[in-house]
Amino acid sequence: MTEKLHVPVIAWFDAHARDLPWRRPEAGPWGVMVSEFMLQQTPVSRVLPVYEQWLARWPRPADLAKEAPGEAVRAWGRLGYPRRALRLHGAAVAITERHGGDVPTDHAQLLALPGIGEYTAAAVASFAYGQRHPVLDTNVRRVLARAVTGVQYPPNATTAAERRLARELLPEEDGTAARWAAASMELGALVCTARNEGCARCPIAAQCAWRLAGKPEHAGPPRRGQTYAGTDRQVRGKLLAVLREAHAPVPQALLDRVWHEPVQRARALDGLVTDGLVEPLAGGLYRLPST
């Protein structure tokens, strides 16, 4: 079963993989790590320009670590979920202090970095260092759910059963396992998509359990799309946009102009302060974090 999946999917990847900057040798482990932070819940098209600007400015972890965390938030721009910028800055500081400025090769050391979870540690170890780890993002989980378990969508949160299946499907050889991780992820991103899946282009369509079962409809809890307009997330984004554009502390009155509803606006600003994304100063002034 495993080889029947690995060989065609990796061959497909060799022929169809996108030429992305973090996949090139010159990206190095730091480039891979930056991409993994940026790509969480964010499409490639939005990440590409910010990624290239980021690496041009901060080509090594130590370059970012020397800057104030607010500069990371500023450079993050409109990628969304800006706490990722603070976590990436924290990881850069830890890499500089604990590992001499080099992204560690050891999976456990990667996992011990601030802001690095199970997925990111496995992805960096696999994609940067060619190690054998199960790399379970949404795309991979969807490919395995359909091809192996015969259901349309994986559960909302990663389960122990999914982790076990991913480990069982890992090729034995490190380099092949790393290639499989990248290939199965790309297959989910380009072919085995959440909607309008391209089964006619899929290299494992003939053995896909979900397709062979007649593509049964999703039987789990309803899948809700994310909303943005009118949410606290939107208000937070508007407040941060003002602070990113400003290179001096901003008065409360200027922030008050970004949203008409005062209670929601105050809640969003309080949340940004609590998350460490905004620093309040005396006199009702605000700025991006300096320490």
The residues assigned a catalytic role are 36
Residues 29 and 102 sit within 8 Å (Cβ to Cβ)? yes
273 vs 261: CA distance, rounded Å: 19
Phi-psi region of 115 (alpha: psi -120 to 50; beta: other; left: phi over 0): left
Q: What are phi and psi of 280, to 5 degrees?
A: -80, 145
* Nearest by Cα to 89 from 169, 50, 34: 34
Residues 60 and 30 sit within 8 Å (Cβ to Cβ)? yes
165 vs 180: CA distance, rounded Å: 14
In eight-state DSSP terms, residue 207 is G
User: How many helices (H) and strands (E) in the chain?
Assistant: 15, 3
87 vs 37: CA distance, rounded Å: 9
